[in-house]
Structure 1
Amino acid sequence: METVSPPSLADDFRDVMSGVCTPVAVVTTMDGDRPHGTTVSAFASLSLEPPMVLAALDRRSELLALVRAHGRFGLNVLASGQQALATRFARKGADKFQGVPWRTEHGLPRLPGVAGWLACRVHRLVDGGDHVIALGLVDAAQRLAVSPLTYHARAFGTHLPVTGERC
């Protein structure tokens, strides 16, 4: 039985979540020699031993079907200034990579200049409402010394540390 939230709760939930600063990434995979990707803001580190991440993918997406079939995905953590890539990969359609430079790394599409790169094998796919959570075992990781792209209050930005505060 499907649970449907009342419209006011859905709007209130969306409003609360817009106040949470999230990183922005493009999840990628291959279909033969053709790259596919989609923008996500719901991803996180899950485990250090073994290294794992999670990424939430729309259950109706073509990308999810490919990740399910091939069992692998790349996570391109976008850098500050890459909001055009975030917007491009958030739209529907099969031509998202048209005119976008990329290369294959660990058999997965990698975008240049990203703040972070992870190559992952699917450990498990877990139902999560209108999304499916891909739990990925990390096979490769690389970070560039650039600020990440974030999304907060329905706008792109980046993280700035509070002066004098460090963890």
Structure 2
Amino acid sequence: MSITTTADASLPVSFRVAMAHVCSPVAVITAFDGDRPHGTTVSAFMSLSMEPPMVAIALDKNSELLGVIRAHGNFAVNVLGAHQSDVALAFARKGHDKFDGIGWATTQALPALDGAVVWMSCATENFVTGGDHTIIVGAVRHVVREESPPLTYHGRVFGTHSPILDAT
């Protein structure tokens, strides 16, 4: 392993480059504000606890969706399938038209995106400040899973997981 050290001034750039080498799932976090659905693409999503089932997500502290979740307390995690890079890009941009042309339905009183390989409804348990983001801890209330490869993000490009086959 080659270790490169960086001066303090270049640390943010080095950190960004290093994080591009970490493979992450691609998820769209969704919630309702009244009748209007909101959503945004995140790669900061993880399983937090099995007992009880909990997840953690991170949203920019200026995110409109963060305000919606703070006001209403519930959100959904839509883990995208390998075929959904266009959905990831649609929800990564700003604007109120992200759901235009995207298949979705209301499930458990939350927006569920068509084609997601995992969908979870969550009740907010806690908000934790983390730099320029807010970490939201959610208690998982309902899970739906499809047998399909997930969409991943690595090296600033979309991909998917391939198992390593043991040659022995």
- Report 1:134-149 matches (<5 A): 134-149=136-151
Q: Output the amino acid matched with 1:43.
A: F
Structure 1 residue 7 displacement after superposition: 4.6
What's the TM-score, normalizing by structure 2? Answer: 0.93
What's the TM-score, normalizing by structure 1? Answer: 0.94
Q: Which whole-Å CA distance do the structure 1 matches of 2:8 and 2:63 have between them?
A: 24
Provide the alpha-carbon RMSD of the alignment. Answer: 1.3
What is the identity percentage for the equivalent residue pairs of Structure 1 and Structure 2?
A: 54
Q: Residue 65 of structure 2 corresponds to which residue in structure 1?
A: 63
Q: Residue 95 of structure 1 corresponds to which residue in structure 2?
A: 97
The structure 1 residue matched to 2:74, chosen from 52, 56, 72, is 72
The SS at the match of 2:102 is coil
Structure 1 residue 37 displacement after superposition: 0.1
Q: Residue 84 of structure 2 corresponds to which residue in structure 1?
A: 82
Q: Output the amino acid matched with 1:92.
A: K
Q: Which structure 2 segments of 5+ residues have no match?
A: 1-6
Q: Residue 119 of structure 1 corresponds to which residue in structure 2?
A: 121
Q: Residue 15 of structure 1 corresponds to which residue in structure 2?
A: 17
- Equivalences, count: 161
Q: Which whole-Å CA distance do the structure 2 matches of 1:139 and 1:73 have between them?
A: 10
The SS at the match of 2:139 is strand
- Report 1:143-158 matches (<5 A): 143-158=145-160
Q: Which whole-Å CA distance do the structure 2 matches of 1:151 and 1:136 have between them?
A: 23
